[in-house]
Structure 1
Amino acid sequence: MLSTPADNPYDEPRSGRLAAWGNALLSGLASPDDAAAAVLGADESHRVTGLPGDAEGELHGLTWALGRLRVLGVKGLRLALPTAGHPLGLTGPAEFNGAAMASGEAVLAVGVPLGLVPEVEVFGPAGDRSATVLWRCRTVNDAPPADVPSLHEAERELADGLREATVLLSRLDVAGAGPQALRALDAYRRRGHAELLAPGYPPRAVRVLESARHVAALLAIASGGPGGAGGGVEHGAAVSASEMAARREVLAPLGRTARRAQVAAYNALVDERDAR
């Protein structure tokens, strides 16, 4: 079964982990083995294919692939979280953008026009699932990424978005989302900052990412996403299909704000270094 970041708003996108820990490695703040282990997380395996010079179908482990990217001249990694109609973080060409859109995420190299898109295969019974990930490397356009804000802009947008979300979610009776959904949100809140990003990231980036993920979790409950109303979890309020569609339309701009903030946070190590 294929999986995308939208499957669970409480999970960190794999492309985010690769960008963050790849940046820590490229900055000399993490060892290759530690970076590879952090990117792997709870997955069973990650492999990389399509790197320049590879034979057809040649596969590499993360440690080797990250070292190869550094040898090729990659100076940093940037996250993309595109959705239909919003190519957030992408630069083209169309073939790469299409693959990234289908996955919902991608990583773009800084210094060399390369991008990586994960293909995730989830297996195992509910409650005991794991995944294998194949990262396909492709050539990308050497151009500014689409619609990525600075960390300062993202923080300001999120502050406005959080205020708006509080009002909207109160009006939409998120308290009726059901005990299971609210327990999931509470568990997410208790995770804290320890597992966010990687060594070298500024505290402001961690703060922005935590806020962005908080907004995404709230919106998932309000709009009937995973763990929320309409996602198989009991819902305390009677909500019709038309009312649920109206919710999603109202909340869509906040979702875009949260994704933009996530991308800005993961890219902060590269952006702040380049701004010096």
Structure 2
Amino acid sequence: MLATPADNPYEEPRSGRLTAWGNALLAGLVPPDNAAAAVLGEDETHRVTGLPGDTDGDEHGLTWALGRLRVLGAKGLRLALPDAGHPLGLTGPAEFNTRAMGVGEAVLAVGLPIGLVPEIEVYGPAGDQGTRVLWRCGTVNDGPPAGVPSLHEAERELTDGLREATLLLTRLDVAGAGPEALRALEAYRRRGHAELLAPGYSPRAVRVLESARQISALLAIALGGHGAAVSASEMAARREVLAPLVQTARRAQIAAYNSLADEPRG
């Protein structure tokens, strides 16, 4: 069974982990094996295919693949979190964008026309499932990623977004949604203690990412049907009202993950 990041809005996107730890590795801040282990997380395997020089069917482990990207001239990695109508972080061409939008995430190399899209396979019976990830490389265009703010801009947008989200969610009575919403909030809080990003990222980047994840979690609860609105028309209205905030949070996440590659370290 293939999965997408939308299947669990509280999980860090795998493309985010690859971006963060890949950037730390390319900056010389972590050893290759440590970076690969952090990207792997609780998954069983991560393999990479389609790198320059590969023949059909070649697959490599993360340590080798990250080293290969460095040898080829990659200066860093950038995250993309696209969805229908919003190619956030992508540069084209259409074929790569379509694949990335299909799973909602991708990683683009800085200094190389290479992008990676994950195929996430969940297998096994309920309660005893494993996850395998195959990163498929493709050709991407050289150019600025679509719709991505600077870290400073993202922080300013989040400040306004969090204020607006609080007002909207209060109006939608999400706080009074009952046990199901409370369980969803508790699930987010339990995951809130995980280490964010990787060595080398600034405190601002960590702060922006945590704020973006908090807003995303609250919006996921609201869009999951919690709160006072119960009819289909009310849910459609809720989606329309909250859509700009969803995009604000996604833009901020991308800015945080990309900051080690895109902004000078001080």
Q: TM-score, normalised to structure 2's length?
A: 0.96
Shift of 1:117: 0.3
Tell which deviates more after alignment, 48-57 or 128-137.
128-137
AA aligned opposite 1:198: A
AA aligned opposite 1:184: A
For 1:88 and 1:155, locate their aligned partners in 2 and report how far apart those are by CA, in whole Å: 17
- Aligned partners of 2:172 and 2:229 also within 8 Å: no
For 1:183 and 1:243, locate their aligned partners in 2 and report how far apart those are by CA, in whole Å: 23
- Residue of structure 2 in register with 1:2 after alignment: 2
Are 1:208 and 2:208 an aligned pair? yes
* 1:119-134 superposed matches below 5 A: 119-134=119-134
In structure 1, list runs of 5 or more residues that go unmatched: 230-234
Change in Cα spacing, 1:154 to 1:236, as seen in structure 2 (3 Å) is closer
For 1:36 and 1:197, locate their aligned partners in 2 and report how far apart those are by CA, in whole Å: 14
Q: Secondary structure at the match of 1:267?
A: helix
For 1:189 and 1:267, locate their aligned partners in 2 and report how far apart those are by CA, in whole Å: 25
Match of 2:239 among 244, 248, 258: 248
Runs of 4 or more, structure 1, over 6 Å off, are: none
Are 1:50 and 2:50 an aligned pair? yes
Q: How big is each residue's C-alpha offset from its partner over 1:9-47, in whole Å with a ceiling of 9 and x where there is no partner?
A: 110000000000000001111111110111011111110
Are 1:179 and 2:191 an aligned pair? no
AA aligned opposite 1:270: A
- Residue of structure 2 in register with 1:270 after alignment: 261
* 1:118-157 superposed matches below 5 A: 118-157=118-157
- Aligned partners of 2:76 and 2:110 also within 8 Å: yes
For 2:229 and 2:140, locate their aligned partners in 1 and report how far apart those are by CA, in whole Å: 47
* 1:31-42 superposed matches below 5 A: 31-42=31-42
Total equivalences in the alignment: 266
* 1:215-226 superposed matches below 5 A: 215-224=215-224
Shift of 1:187: 3.5
For 1:251 and 1:58, locate their aligned partners in 2 and report how far apart those are by CA, in whole Å: 43
Match of 1:260 among 220, 231, 251: 251
For 1:156 and 1:98, locate their aligned partners in 2 and report how far apart those are by CA, in whole Å: 31
- Residue of structure 1 in register with 2:169 after alignment: 169
Q: How big is each residue's C-alpha offset from its partner over 1:142-192, in whole Å with a ceiling of 9 and x where there is no partner?
A: 111101000000000011010000000011010233323322322422444
- Aligned partners of 2:172 and 2:227 also within 8 Å: no
Tell which deviates more after alignment, 187-196 or 201-210.
187-196
Shift of 1:7: 1.3
- Aligned partners of 2:173 and 2:227 also within 8 Å: no
Matched-pair identity in %: 82
Q: Secondary structure at the match of 1:28?
A: coil
Q: TM-score, normalised to structure 1's length?
A: 0.92
AA aligned opposite 2:122: V
Shift of 1:249: 0.8
For 2:206 and 2:178, locate their aligned partners in 1 and report how far apart those are by CA, in whole Å: 30
The Cα RMSD (Å) is: 1.5
Q: How big is each residue's C-alpha offset from its partner over 1:209-264, in whole Å with a ceiling of 9 and x where there is no partner?
A: 0000111110011111xxxx2xxxxx574611111111111000000000000000
For 2:209 and 2:8, locate their aligned partners in 1 and report how far apart those are by CA, in whole Å: 16
Q: Secondary structure at the match of 1:79?
A: strand
AA aligned opposite 1:91: T
For 2:191 and 2:121, locate their aligned partners in 1 and report how far apart those are by CA, in whole Å: 26
- Residue of structure 1 in register with 2:106 after alignment: 106
- Residue of structure 2 in register with 1:232 after alignment: none
